[in-house]
Structure 1
Amino acid sequence: MENVAVLIVGAGPAGLTTAACLTHLSILYVIVEREDCSVSLWSNHAYDRLKLYLTKELLDNLLVMEEKFIFGDLSRHGITMSKMGPMILKSKTGRSSVIDVGTVGLIKKASSK
């Protein structure tokens, strides 16, 4: 395992929020979760009155905008982004795309030399 500054125990709402803040600050972290999904409290309906009211279309648009903001245009490095957002991509193809922040950083660094 690489050297990390923070270990986040649990991929629930607090763990994911912490991860987002650490990512924004460029602090390395690892999330460990005992369940097979993130935000398992919502997924397993532990909160019977809590609903996430974001439509897939809306959520996909937000995720695509965030992806562009974080990574920029990667096409000059040979990495093309899907035209579909991750939620639609998963529902249509059964696949999901994964972008490794560290790998993207190394690709950009190597290309700038």
Structure 2
Amino acid sequence: MQAKKPVGTKFTDEQKNVSSTTKNLDVNTGTVLTKHDTQHYAELGSEKIVVSDDMVKKTKQMLPSGIQLLGFKPIGRVKPHHTFQAADFLYPDESSIVGSTALFTTLLERCDKKGVSAICRFTSRS
């Protein structure tokens, strides 16, 4: 098992532990919203479709975790609004897949040389 760096702890000037919490607030009333008060949605064209937490879980379970190369697109045609979420940092792992570093490096070099971007689907572990 690989050792991991411990998570940092924050302290006040008086050396007391500080903990942080995240709360969602109603912009109109300022009241705290519970998980049941909020909804997630996906944009399809110009419409917003409400997506439940269960639906997101089931969708993630339908796809195996990992990355799948879907195709290539000229770099100039890839627009920021084509992404579904913020970028994830991916890196090759030689201990799991031998040769992944060479494959990843070659893919990036060839994409750069041809002026294209790899279009992928990434499914994280649930």
Alignment TM-score, normalising by the size of structure 1: 0.24
State the structure with more CA Rg.
Answer: 2
Higher fraction of helix? 1
* Larger relative contact order, structure 1 or 2 (CA cutoff 8 Å, min sep 6): 2
Instruction: State TM-score, norm by structure 2.
Output: 0.22
